[in-house]
Amino acid sequence: MKFLTAIPVFNEERHVEAVLREVKRFSPEILVVNDGSADGTAQLLARQEGLRIITHPQNRGYGAALSSAFAYAQAQDFDVLVSMDCDGQHEPSRIAVLLEAIHDADIVSGSRYLRLFRQNNHAPQDRKEINRRITTELNERWGLHLTDAFCGFKAYRREALARLHITEPGWGMPLQLWVQAAYRGLRIKEVAVPRVYLDHNRAFGGVLDDADQRLAYYHRVLAAAEAECATGEKVPAQPALCSPCCLLDPPSSVVHPGS
């Protein structure tokens, strides 16, 4: 099975080298989507050998970075795309668990709440509560059985990516993904992964640092995704309100093949 591990990064100079060093132990093919980093991330990536890199000249948002990875994986004929974050939350050794589970699923998603791990630590209370609320709403409205709607550690079959049409550029992108996956009848499986928060002060940016604003934004994304599935027409979720990184007219990407 030919798989690619994709890592969206934005201003991750503190973590990117250590994360990549560990990922290389478990994935022969790695794509980094540098989403307009303004720190030293680009320089650190340039020193890495064998990476596939997509560069967004300006910051476009988490969802936009993953959308670039989705398109790249399909264009390069990978069977499976694994996505993971670059903040040290996800353990690359668990990639094999996702790949094993994808044999009889279309999307495999890590869950930090399926079971306890010795290395688990506490999630920030506002994030835990919003996750619980949104996950419950998705389950009740779409017949899903999720325990963690927001975990970024996932595996996707190429055929599943072809059936998704992700347009939400910001942090709410997973909600659009879940609605589309449910609407299209994709097979979804969760696997347990440790809950690791290295920095409880890590910010979303802009108005999303306010929990009430963040929840309202997520509800807008959900409503827009549901309306889009019902009508077949794109319904904007006001992405420009979610954070300064979400641009309505994103610039072109620059692709750097692996050496």
Over residues 165-194, the mean pLDDT reads: 97
Q: Which CA distances in Å does 171 have to 43, 62, 96?
A: 25, 6, 26
How many structural domains is the chain composed of?
A: 1
pLDDT tops 60 at residue 177: yes
CA distance 203 to 210: 10
Is residue 25, in this structure, part of any structural domain at all?
yes
CATH number, residue 60: 3.90.550.10
Is residue 250, in this structure, part of any structural domain at all?
no
Is residue 95, in this structure, part of any structural domain at all?
yes
Q: What is the pLDDT of residues 56-109, one digit of tens each?
A: 999 999 999 999 999 999 999 999 999 999 987 889 999 999 999 999 999 999
CA distance 114 to 194: 9
HSE at residue 204, side-chain half, CA atoms within 13 A, is: 20
Quote the domain boundaries for residue 63: 3-203
Is residue 237, in this structure, part of any structural domain at all?
no
Is residue 38, in this structure, part of any structural domain at all?
yes
**What's this model's pTM, rounded to 2 decimal places?**
0.85
